[in-house]
Amino acid sequence: MSGKDIDRLAAYEETGLEPEDFERAFNKAAVLKLAGQALGITPDRLRELAQADKEGRCIILPDPQKTPVLRKGTPVWYVDNATGEIEPGKVFIASYKDGKLDSFSVDFECGDFDEFVGSALGNCFFGSKEQAEAALRREQDG
């Protein structure tokens, strides 16, 4: 044993605590209570979330600050730079890979339906008509 180990053992012995005391202090309920306090939720809610996760009922949605979340029915506007037209549509389906928008399908008001890569959002697809109009103006102003 090194001098450091002996010092640690002496410090432990000075506490007067037995191993059972540590087990009591750090039982599952106490740890849940501390974790709940740190996260701002109750231990019961933590148990509920853990159970839902075990059952496969938890999913993590993409961070909307980093990746827009598209759901069925989300309105989008397509900018056709060649014609200068803005075509409204609604998302039919969107798929995510590694937390990022991978692809999405759009059902256009004119009756067309097509699939696009995720990177099209913000380039030729926009979440509002105003954004689409601004992008078209930027393209036309060159």
pLDDT by residue (tens digit) across 16-74? 777 777 677 677 777 888 888 888 988 888 889 889 989 988 876 666 566 567 889 99
Contacts of 121 (CB under 8 A, 6+ apart): 68, 70, 76, 101, 104, 127
- Residue 50 CA to residue 57 CA, distance in Å, equals 10
Tell me which residue of 119, 135, 130 sits closest to 84, measured CA to CA.
Answer: 135
Output the pLDDT for position 66.
61
Output the pLDDT for position 62.
60
For the chain, give the mean pLDDT. 85
Fold of 75-141: SH3 type barrels. (2.30.30)
Three-state DSSP class for 140?
A: helix
Q: What is the mean pLDDT of residues 112-135?
A: 90
| CATH 2.30.30 placement within the chain | 75-141
Structure tokens at 141: 């102003």
Query: Please, what is the end-to-end C-alpha distance for the chain in angstroms?
Result: 75
Output the pLDDT for position 84.
87
